[in-house]
Structure 1
């Protein structure tokens, strides 16, 4: 909201308050009288947005001018915004330009910006003006605090001026916020006291964590000193704020009375005799620790995308969200973020040992003493390239080849990996014959997945040789449109020719699902045909690896076709996993996600797996005819 104010006089003619010549706090989100210039031409500028939200949609900034150096991908801004004309023709003596600046509460807060003042609103005149200010914002504690800044513009007294803010010489940080732009003469008296608003005096049941102190704006105040303590006259300076609210960053003691006061101040001095309010905290009931933390401690997981999951605490208060910590040492975990969900994906995980922890929180505080799980990421795809990454996972849910049994997996993207290793699942094909491959996937709506298949027929450890790629060229695409990935209606089948020169024995097959338009671009076709990489952004789909066994012609017969449907249930399971039909099953083996065999059992309709840790397992039914039926099962 813009204000153009006149001097304030007492009856005796003395000025007791500053004259404000211009003020804009942007609360009305209207900058129609400002001039915006997108000098870098990227289509983004100041005031495209006025608030930056967090991952839960909550504002992280006041309503203010916003310019960004990152938005999904890196930006290199050269954004200008120039004020309307500011009339200083009546001004004499000292005049100052004041504003507040804030950036992201992370290490990527080093936004560079400049402020220019001139009697002309052209960029050339503003750049040439001797009155300017430049800084690279850097909160040393990476808390994203808002700071007040002042520039002396007294040399322009008696003239009309323009003020420009320029965001430039920076890339790949996040955002900069400019607020409360004011041109005024200096205060001549200290400000009066403010009115405390909340918590109300003598309030009870105040949260021990995240309590917010609020007060009214005080005339003539530049900032406010906030005092908090457990004595009736608090003397401990908690913080200095430029706004009219402050969120406590420390957890208060449970069921304790606190006293607080707010003292306005300016360049002349501080208000005196200000009131003190009290409040009493509630009896804290923070949540207990989460349950079923997965992957289990000591587990091996695949490199690439590692899904973490847990269940809500069953002790303490109700959790409202969860802080997720990750690192290579149990003593130096880094907070990755906060989520209201009970599952997250950790992406771009390379081979090595990792620790993670999930801490439930609510308004009363955070769970304490919770487990830290240690997992080891291994690359199950070696010696082949991978794992592939996708910006959005749209799972493959069904893969089968003629004369074999299908591999089925969940069509839900929740908890799915971008690249899954079903190395223990084997498909048999005959050398020099034409077989069929069937695939289904969750296309994420009315979109098209392109399936490409890669087989290392000469067993040289790559998919780079002639004849090892399928369905990668126009006219021979293998597609699926608008499939949920569930049931049989979305299963698509296409012929696949096994070379007569294919080396007998076991080798690797990779099946890749990749979203592209109905008429794919040349870039999309190149991505469909690439078995090793995807673009960093806009990659939708999933990849899966299998084992192919090449056998001599005539080895497979009609009798090899799976005539019965076998399932495992319940899934997820607690201790006992049931098999619907064990007829023809020779033995049962259990592998963890890295492919390591952790248990072997005799065939039975009930498998007692109570001694396994919680996590994802591959259940292999080794049939009397030599085939293997493979299922994914999750132990809670």
Structure 2
């Protein structure tokens, strides 16, 4: 699957935020996440895995340890790949049990949990109704405080939140983000999605490609509830009118979870409202093209150990070509600076 980074991070004004958790999966090993699908014992990286074909009557038959895989994207870059159910029912959950303790270490007043992750929806398929995404759960794992899913068939991005839509009972609801066909992620492209939940105001926010800088907001209905678990998820996706007939796969990577006292999700600010910074192609063997909504004056490339391997000063410009022929294959961080701020993006040299 071609990995092209659609960078939705923008030049930010510095804001206070506390990083609680990061995961790029590069410390794990290619293969099954766990040898257990009941969620009873942890596997690689202390990740638990639960896979189900769903309650009867169900046509799903493919729940197995192979549904959750650590896969190679090339040049030493690993990611999580989930395979959804192949019938009308079923689900997949991948999580760690450490998050409740991590959340309690946050700085006082940082009552917004912010989560960002990369997802590649593939090409899309009309046969599979599977959905894939990330949920922030409460302690009983019955309320999605904030989450998102992407439909395999259409690549449509949706917000999930425990809420009370007008005329409906309280529950976990999935929200379209625009009129049909909704907001659709680019095919075979890595898009960065951000979700957040404010424990005080109960607001759930989603940001990503095609969404205005302020994000789309739903007010939740779960009072006095702290986030307690973060799950990578997949579901059959069947509906009363269209039944799932095929399993599909999506790849997720580069999870970051923060606690903040203000909105820093995807680092979007008024300074960045003019547009997004794009870096392409990614991976690349020789040159990365950079297009920016704000003139930038320098860049630095660091390796995964934080060592600077390339740097340059430029005349202020909104476009540039960065030659990386001299770099060894691998994963790097490209840092771009302007007088208004900076942005950092993961790049892959093949």
Please report the TM-score for the alignment, with normalisation by the length of structure 1.
0.24
| Larger of the two Rg values belongs to structure | 1
Please report the TM-score for the alignment, with normalisation by the length of structure 2.
0.39
